Amino acid sequence: MAAGPAAARDEVAALLGTMQRVLGREHPDTLTTRSELARLTGQAGDAAAARDQFAVLLPVMARVLGPDHPDTVTARSELARWTGEAGDAAGARNQFAALASVRERLLGPGHRRTLAARTSLAHWTGEAGDPEGARDQYARLVPIYEHEFGPEHPRTLAVRASLAAWIGVAGDSAEASRQYAELLPVHERALGAKHPDTLVVREHLAYWTRQASTRRRGWGRQK
């Protein structure tokens, strides 16, 4: 496979033409290749085209494979993702809300794919303009991640960092700073001081600490 998503997309597009001629447009292997092409299209920078490809593909997969087939449900997740990446945060939120229910019904509440759907739901809830809703959803997810993966697993740390961020965006910069201060030594211990995620936590700690300080000075001037 060629390096880079754009080159990989072009290779998969060429392969798809052959598969459609040999196997047919609705053969399961052809559908898998169409899904891969749509995903690579998004990764190559065209989120709107990826969204549109998955929107066309999803009903075909539901009809051919069944609505609860793993590949169909994955296509639903990709459609929700690229809907958000293309600029429709509310649409992504609504799709992930429906998807999370499907994942929980099919896989159970603690399955990693169910948790991934709920995490995406929390993210797009915030991006759609509801930081308090995002904060509350992430707060409910943290203990679940700690139980399922462990308190220092990278997935758990990522959810804790997201919780801290949305706490800040929701208006509590002091609590965001406090949570990032707690997270930083855990990241350094679990991932290393120079890990990209650790560096981001350090940067966000500095940002929310400045925000909290600015807010305190503002309150002092008002008194």
As a whole number of Å, the end-to-end CA separation of the chain is: 65
pLDDT tens by residue, 172-210: 999 999 999 999 999 999 999 999 999 999 999 999 999
Q: What is the pLDDT of residues 15-48, one digit of tens each?
A: 999 999 999 999 999 999 999 999 999 999 999 9
pLDDT at 74 (0 to 100): 97
The mean per-residue pLDDT over the stretch 98-124 comes to 97
User: Which amino acid belongs to residue 181?
Assistant: A
Structure tokens at 27: 């053969």
How far is residue 140's CA from residue 119's CA, in Å, rounded to a whole number? Answer: 10
- From its phi and psi, is residue 2 left (phi > 0), alpha (psi between -120 and 50) or beta? beta
pLDDT of residue 221: 56
Express each pLDDT in 90-103 by its tens digit: 999 999 999 999 99
Long-range contact list for 193-201, CB < 8 A, 24+ apart?
A: 197/154, 197/157, 197/158, 197/161, 200/161, 201/161
Distance CA 149, CA 159 (A): 12
pLDDT greater at residue 134 or residue 215: 134
Question: Which of 169, 91, 177 lies closest to 131, judged by CA?
Answer: 169
Query: How large a percentage of the chain has pLDDT more than 90?
Result: 93
Question: With the C-alpha atoms ordered 189, 192, 195, 200, is the resulting torsion angle positive or negative?
Answer: positive
Per CATH, 12-114 and 130-218 having the same topology is answered yes
Q: At the fourth CATH level, which superfamily is domain 130-218?
A: Tetratricopeptide repeat domain (1.25.40.10)
The Cα–Cα gap between 26 and 220 comes to 67
pLDDT band at 214 (very low <50, low <70, confident <90, very high): confident
Q: Could you read off the pLDDT of 71-91 as tens digits, one per residue? A: 999 999 999 999 999 999 999
Whole-number pLDDT of residue 222: 53
Closest CA to 92 of 64, 63, 134: 134
Average pLDDT over residues 126-143: 98
Mean pLDDT over each residue of the chain, to the nearest integer:
95
Span 162-166, average pLDDT: 98
Could you say which of 2.120.10.80, 1.25.40.10, 3.40.605.10, 2.160.10.10 is the CATH number of the domain covering 12-114?
1.25.40.10
Summarize the confidence of residues 101-127 as an average pLDDT: 97
pLDDT at 1: 45
What pLDDT shows up at residue 27?
A: 96
**Ranges of each domain in the chain:** 12-114, 130-218
